[in-house]
Structure 1
Amino acid sequence: MTDEELAKDLGLVSAMTIGIGTMIGAGIFVLPGVAAQAAGPIVVVSFVVGGLVAMVNALSVSELGTAMPKAGGGYYYVNRALGPLFGSIAGMGDWMGLAFASAFYSIGFGQYLATLAPMPSVLFLTDVQVGALFAGAAFVLVNYVGAKETGGVQTVIVTLLLGILTLFAVRGWLAFDAATLLGTDGVAPMGYGAILPGTALVFVSFLGYAKIATVAEELKNPGRNLPIAVIGSVAIVTVIYAVLVSIMLGVVPWTDLSTSAPLTQATEVAFAGEYGAIAVGIVTVGALLATASSANASILASARINFAMGRDGIVTDWLNDIHPKFATPYRSIVVTGAMILAFIALLGQDLEVLSKAASVLHLVVYALMNAALIVFRETDAPEYDPDFTVPLYPVTPILGVVLSLGLLAFVGLRELALSAVFVVGSVLWYVAYANRHTEGQGLLGRHVSAGTQGEESVATTPDADAGPTVMVALSNPRTEGPLMTLAGALAKAKGGTVFATHVVQVPDQTSLAAAAERRRGVMDESERLLAEAREDAERFDVPVETRTILSHQGVAEVFDAARDHEADTLIMGYGGTRLAGGRAEGTLDELAQSLPCDVLVLNERSFDPSEVLLPTAGGYSSDLSAEVARALRDAVGANVTLLYVADDRETGRAFLGEWAAEHDLDDAEIRVETGAVEPAIRRAAADRTLVVVGATEQGLLSRVVQGSLALSVLENLDASVLLAERPTSRSLRERLFR
């Protein structure tokens, strides 16, 4: 049986942008106009107070998340600490809250869409609702088929949004007028008592940080990155809200601020002139991106919560079946999508209802999470070992409970009644269904639930005493044999082990734990591939370990796995990496970090290692090429030919003779060519079966401008080509220009 590993493939930046991207969509592009009409200019303080309430809760979320980085976030913590009754309330509340929030974001998308492409009204639906329904259906479809949302895509979206908002902030500040902000009735025309009702209205703007906890089990170094991402995203977004809402109200009087597209209106006023139309267009596109990103992230998070509830028996596990083609929890996504579309159709004409309902349900969950933290601490649960602890315990979680429940008093009777229906419904669901399907009483009942530990298999790093580790990244059966031949030969020459991995890419909508538990459909191909790899490695009489790695990043996970498992050499196919001008790194990766170890990239064409050509002009990567050539000579009897392209043949022969002696290749054939390098390599490779070439030492900009010898050789020879690169320390200047 092949070992299985869940990748930790979300970094700090990706995690923070999940939170920031979701929060920005609501707080800036949708709510300022509605909130200003409800509270006046003092609504700026409402946003700040909302940020402070969120920050208290964020501290508790950070402790819980570092203690138990599991899919499901708040539901998981409440269920473990308070038991399945409160777990049902938290899970259902979180699920429904996300559905309300997604409907709210979709309405925001529809409002900005209407400024670009007016939609028709249909029956009792307004044009905005029609646009929102189309958008909501599209978001559900995107999640159904498993399109990317987290990680790099979200980072790009957030970067664009911050750039757009910075553009508005600079120009808006120049157009800012304090008299416009204060108006004729001062900062609080409705009284200072409007602050907390305003906070209750805008609190939906701060729900994004909790989504980070739902992907906690996939964070790299969660003990450090989770609290920084959660707390940092709340702090950054609170400052953005305070600054930008103040500028909006200083550009457009609060009484006139649009309740449908407030930022577009403020931009039009701030950029009055020849660039106004362009600026408005940019902001509108930003609003569409922001609201779409927020809706997508909410649907994605709801699927994670449903998986966690299904795993514990709170809801039927039927919801979590994985689609055979798309590998997504399609039933969960469809059910959630149906609720979102229903909320858009039935409640979409009143943005306050959607925003407050989402806020109320999440506030209930936050109060329960703070209570769960106290239970974990006071029961001294042995499995509870957080890397981050809240300051001023127990004041902080108690304050979180008080603030979360206290804010409910200001949301309005209609929203409270609507949310109470869901809470009562959750209790009835527990009595009628969950009580008969879930086990355990929770720590509050002094009993630790059975079977909630060890749901994922995390294998250990190959034994360091077994010698150097040669890691192979396999992607398809066609290239498995050649890659394992290289790995076996190198491992035998080094006296090391082969570590064969197959990275299975899982859609973001499916938690890695869900994919692991429903491993049959996902893992059958991987099992077959790695079984063949074991057989191929055994003929070299070297130890071999196989591992399937479930990851959301796919190929990008390979380098991380090499670092995590302390590989000495990484071997992968040409189709399994992106070559940046003859290097094994991607273009941006090359500027940001070094290779994790020696890297070999094979471009295989009817792989036959019997006749090896090794072009060399010296250099650190040529040393690695020599190691490969020696290993193939000793393991499979390869004939090695050394090639040097020189202006003078005698000088070339002298260089190659000395180089061969230094690298234990005295028995290799020596060949010297004159003229241009690439044609010379092509002539020499005509009767060879494998060309081993060291990566170029040119810097990024030099290779972009001049092209790359290594890359053109890889793509234009008839023989199989192996690109060898050895990591080296280079400054940013060297990476750019050398």
Structure 2
Amino acid sequence: MKKLERSLSLITVIAISIGGMLGSGIFVLPGLAAAKTGSSVWLAYLIAALCILPAALSKSELATAMPSSGGTYVYIERAFGPILGTVAGIGLWLSLLLKSSFALVGFGAYLSILISIDPDLTRIVAVFFLGLILLLNIFGVKKVGKVQIVIVTLSLTCLTLILFFGLPKVNTVFLKPFLINGQTGLMSTVAFVYISYAGVTKVAAIAGEIKNPDKNLPRAMILSLFIMTTIYVSIAFILVGNIPLEALEKDIKPIYTIANILGGQYVGYAAAVIGVITLISMANSGVLAASRFPFAMARHKLLPSFMSKIHSKYLTPTSTIILTCVTMALVILFLDVEKIAKLASAFMVMMFILVNAAVVVLRETSAQWYNPPFRSPLYPFVQIFGIISGIILLVLLGWLPFLSIIAIFIIGVAIYFNFGNKTRRTGVLRKYGHRPALYLLYKRKNKEKKNLTVINSLNEGVLDGKLVSDAGAVVALLGNENSPEMLVEIGAAINRRLQIQAINITEVPNQTYLDAFMDDNPKIHSLARRISGLAKAKNLDIDFEAVVTHDISETIDELSNQTNCDWLVMGWNGKAHSGIFVRNPIGWLVTNINSDFALFKDNGVRHIGKVLIALRPGRKDKNFIAIADRISQFYGASLTLLHVVPAHFTKDDITKIEESSSIILNKSISKTDLIILKSDDSINAISKTSAGYDLLILGTPQKDNWINVLFGTGKDKFTEKSACSVLRLTMKDN
């Protein structure tokens, strides 16, 4: 399959992003917005830009992680699953067609300046031109990129001239009152004008065609947002400073009005021409984009199959284009201008809330395939601000948009269960999201067995596509290990049986077919060769396989069941399990896996000669020391047991610990030692002691406080501060 050529430069992408924003937001909306808040309308545009900034950063991150995915619908579906993906697809479709309908209403108003049209018939004229747009989209008449750039250039030139000539003529009398409905009116206006900036994220859908997207995509979004914020704020200030509020608040062609005031009738006509061209172009591109959402959803089996068909001659999705245009016609004819703008803003706010939430979900669940070159700064505070501010704006938009969003959720769920419930795709959140009562109150004991097919990338060498059924340890290799051989060695050291199963696991999104990864993979060849070399050098019985999966946690869990292993061994970055809301796959495995679980944090130590075991309070010493002794024997290393006791412990208390520990250590085959340190800072004490050792063995904490349970424990402090490699053991009978 050929890939799209990355040919779009930073300047071109900025122009495309500006083109997505430049239209009804400034040519139609300012007067209606001024009616809600007064001369402070320019401030509403500024605050709206700040509220949309998190979505721009979040969408930049998502687009660089999935540069050829096709936009917001897919991001939301991958994060939350097909049900919310269906809701998002409908919401995006409606927001775009509403924005395009709003543009066509404004187009009719500007056209009436140039051609004598009865004001009552402007909507009929708008529907007529919508019919022409319908034919253009069905026949597949492509937009010429240079024409779009010319339109953007003309619009920017017109607005710049208005700014240049209008600023000196601002009448301070018109700037009062600043707030006609108080702060609540200002914030509701922020929500109202939010749709003006929606186009800033459109370029994410063409991330696969941008040169150096991990840098140029976020730069283009931020720069275009800055440019358009400057234009919107400045022009809004010029409008309220030159036109009395009582005239401006009913005006849906304010750019013509200000141009007529500043330059006379012919300058006004010129501005009207630019308004007509800009708004018709925006409406056309809106139909083009909006009609693709139901088309993509139908191809994902979330809508009736006839919507996924393309015209045999024109190669366009005729049915979805017709559906979009018919819906737009109904909106234009039966909704007033303000309701159209409110609904468009509401649906876009909802989408951007989900975009911000998607970044949180994908980061916190640590999905293996999610590795964006660009990461949003100040995570998660930027995303939390975007989510909270979005919810506030939805409330301020009023009851009608809010009820419309609820209706979209109901319709989306109904459509999913009628058409999309047979899809096998699931979102990352469903794979790794908590069910609090189940996971906090008790652990699963009897698990339904599933069939698992090992999809290997090779048909030769040590790979045969069969799992060892009697492996004592299963070592899961996820591709992010410092040294896969060292992790397999640790598995061999823990193993109590003859055989070890090493499995390289590659997780891909649900939207990616597993068959796409069936080709030979040089990295798997290399890994198989190295594991085979380790087996010969250490005289170990290691079977190596490669697996491709959509769900890494469930796959690892099922692998441990099929092999009936004693231990599951994985690499680790030191992050402890998270809480109810989001978590990483390791947290799920620790809670649900049937076998004992070993997490190895590789700090670069390649020769293990001294092992330190530090037990957390409440552990059964003998079980952990037996495992530590086995590891020490494997490496021919000495074993030291460390107890860190509170500073107030008496000599008698310490003597009791020495006596009980000596009894256990005497059963060990390895050379052993005992250290007891008095310290109220156990983390620092263990950290300093670990500097003299090669491997630190820890158990998992038995209990977490309520803060950890709700919001997660973040980094394991003992592991993070350790100077040597760390092995954290979870044993089910402890």
Scaled to the shorter chain, the TM-score interval is: 0.5 to 0.7
Secondary structure at the residue paired with 1:263?
helix
- Out of 247, 259, 279, which is 2:251 matched to? 259
Whichever of the two has the greater Rg, that structure is 2
Give the superposition deviation at 1:130.
1.0
Matches within 5 A, 1:139-218: 139-149=133-143, 151-182=145-176, 186-218=177-209
Structure 2 counterpart of 1:130: 124
1:498-548 per-position Cα deviation (integer Å, ceiling 9, x unaligned): xxxxxxxxxxxxxxxxxxxxxxxxxxxxxxxxxxxxxxxxxxxxxxxxxxx
2:718 matched residue in structure 1:
none
Pick closer, same or farther for the CA change 1:150–1:419 going to 2, 3 Å.
farther
Deviations 1:9-43 (A, max 9, x none): 44333332232123220221101111111111111
Question: What does residue 408 of structure 1 align with?
Answer: 394
Q: Residue 328 of structure 1: CA displacement?
A: 2.2
Give the whole-Å Cα distance in 1 for the aligned partners of 2:142 and 2:166. Answer: 34
**C-alpha separation in 1, matches of 2:304 and 2:12:** 31
Task: Tell me the residue number matched to 2:324.
Answer: 336
1:198 aligned partner, one-letter code: T
1:306 correspondence with 2:300: no
Report matched runs for 1:718-729 at 5 Å.
none
Which amino acid is the alignment partner of residue 323 of structure 1? H
CA contact 1:114–1:127 (8 Å) conserved in 2: no
Q: CA deviation at 1:208?
A: 0.8
In structure 2, what is the Cα distance between the partners aligned to 1:48 and 1:252? 20
Matched residue, 2:384: 398
Matching of residues 261-276 of structure 1 within 5 Å: 261-271=253-263, 276=264
1:72-83 pair list within 5 angstroms:
72-83=70-81
Residue 89 of structure 1 is matched in structure 2 by 87
Residues 16 and 329 of structure 1, relative CA distance in 2, 3 Å threshold:
farther
Q: How does 1:259-658 map to 2 (within 5 A)?
A: 259-271=251-263, 276-347=264-335, 350-446=336-432, 449-452=509-512
Q: SS of the counterpart of 1:4?
A: coil
Cα drift, residue 150 of structure 1? 6.9
Alpha-carbon distance in structure 2 between the residues aligned to 1:80 and 1:341: 32
SS of aligned partner of 1:207: helix
Structure 1 residue 247 corresponds to structure 2 residue 256: no
**Deviation string, structure 1 residues 387-413 (Cα, Å, up to 9, x no partner):** 211111111111111111221011111
CA gap 1:215/1:300 in 2 versus in 1, 3 angstroms: farther
Is the CA contact 1:72–1:305 (under 8 Å) kept in the aligned structure 2? no
TM-score, reference length from structure 2: 0.58
- Deviation track 1:266-316 (CA, whole Å, cap 9, x = no partner) reads 111112xxxx22211111111112212221222222234334323322223
1:659-679 Cα offsets, whole Å, 9 max, x none, are: xxxxxxxxxxxxxxxxxxxxx
Distance 1:450 1:386, change over 3 A: closer
Question: 2: distance between equivalents of 1:30 and 1:454?
Answer: 49
Aligned-pair distance for 1:216? Answer: 2.5
What do residues 235-287 of structure 1 show as CA deviations (whole Å, max 9, x unaligned)?
1111101101101111111222152211111111112xxxx222111111111
Residue 382 of structure 1 aligns to a residue whose secondary structure is: coil
Asked whether the 8 Å contact 2:362–2:428 carries over to 1, the reply is no
Residues 172 and 112 (structure 1), Cα distance of their counterparts in 2 relative to 1, 3 Å cut: same
Q: CA separation of 1:243/1:150 partners in 2, compared to 1, >3 Å: closer, same or farther?
A: farther
Distance 1:394-1:455 versus aligned 2 partners, 3 A rule? farther
Equivalence for 2:97: 99
Distance 2:295 2:132 in 1: 22
Aligned AA (1:129): R
For 2:386 and 2:128, the matched residues in 1 are separated by 38
**Structure 1 residues 384 and 8: CA distance shift in structure 2, 3 A:** same
Cα 1:326–1:363 shift into 2, 3 Å:
same
Residues 37 and 178 of structure 2 are in contact (CA less than 8 Å); yes or no, is this contact kept in structure 1? no
CA spacing shift, 1:268–1:451, aligned 2, 3 Å: closer
Cα shift readout 1:118-153 (whole Å, capped 9, x = no counterpart) = 3347xxxx3221121122222222222223347333
Contact 2:292–2:320 under 8 Å retained in 1: no
Secondary structure in 1 aligned to 2:164?
A: helix
Contact 1:441 1:448 in 2 (8 A): no
Deviations 1:585-624 (A, max 9, x none): xxxxxxxxxxxxxxxxxxxxxxxxxxxxxxxxxxxxxxxx
Is the partner of 2:331 in helix, strand or coil? helix
1:43 aligns with 2:44: no
AA at the equivalent of 1:211: K
- Please, what TM-score do these two structures have when normalized by structure 1? 0.57
- Higher mean alpha-carbon deviation, 306-315 vs 69-78, is at 306-315
The CA distance in 2 between the partners of 1:424 and 1:27, in whole Å, is 29
The CA RMSD over aligned residues, in Å, is 2.3
Alignment of 1:669-680 (within 5 A): none
- The answer as to whether partners of 1:181 and 1:187 remain within 8 angstroms in 2 is yes
Three-state SS of the structure 1 residue aligned to 2:2 is strand
Seen in structure 2, the aligned counterparts of structure 1 residues 188 and 219 have a Cα distance that, compared at 3 Å, is same
Q: Deviations over 1:393-443 (max 9, x none)?
A: 111111111111221011111222233222211111112221124533444
Q: Deviations over 1:342-372 (max 9, x none)?
A: 111121xx11111111111111111111111
One-letter amino acid of the structure 1 residue matched with residue 65 of structure 2: A
Taking only the aligned residue pairs, the percentage that are identical comes to 34
Provide closer, same or farther for how the CA distance between residues 417 and 136 of structure 1 changes in structure 2, counting only shifts above 3 A: same
Superposed displacement of residue 454, structure 1 = 8.5
- Are the structure 2 counterparts of residues 428 and 264 from structure 1 closer, same or farther at C-alpha, using a change threshold of 3 Å? same
Q: Distance in 1 between matches of 2:392 and 2:143?
A: 34
Contact kept, 8 Å, 1:72 with 1:306, in 2: the verdict is no
Q: Which runs of 5+ in 2 are unaligned?
A: 433-506, 520-734
Equivalent-residue separation in structure 1 for 2:251 and 2:190 (angstroms): 17
Q: Rate the CA distance shift 1:291–1:363 in 2: closer, same or farther, 3 A.
A: same
CA distance, structure 2, for counterparts of residue 132 and residue 141 of structure 1: 15
SS across alignment from 1:431: helix
Q: Is the 8 A contact 2:70 2:205 kept in 1?
A: yes
Match in the other structure for 1:16: 14
After superposition, the Cα gap between the structure-2 partners of 1:269 and 1:336, relative to the gap in structure 1 and judged at 3 Å, is same
Aligned to 2:537: none
Taking the aligned partners of 2:182 and 2:123, their CA distance within structure 1 comes to 33
* Cα distance in 2, alignment partners of residues 23 and 450 from structure 1: 32
Distance 2:13 2:515 in 1: 23
Equivalent in the alignment of 1:6: 4
Which residue of 213, 234, 245 maps to 1:222?
213
Taking the aligned partners of 1:346 and 1:130, their CA distance within structure 2 comes to 11
Partner SS for 1:389 = coil
The alpha-carbon distance between structure 1 residues 395 and 282, as it changes in their structure 2 partners (threshold 3 A), is same
In the alignment, the residues of structure 2 paired with residue 230 and residue 236 of structure 1 have an alpha-carbon distance, to the nearest angstrom, of 10
Q: Name the aligned partner's letter for residue 512 of structure 2.
A: T
Counterpart-to-counterpart distance in 2, 1:456 and 1:226:
27
Distance 1:255 1:444, change over 3 A: same
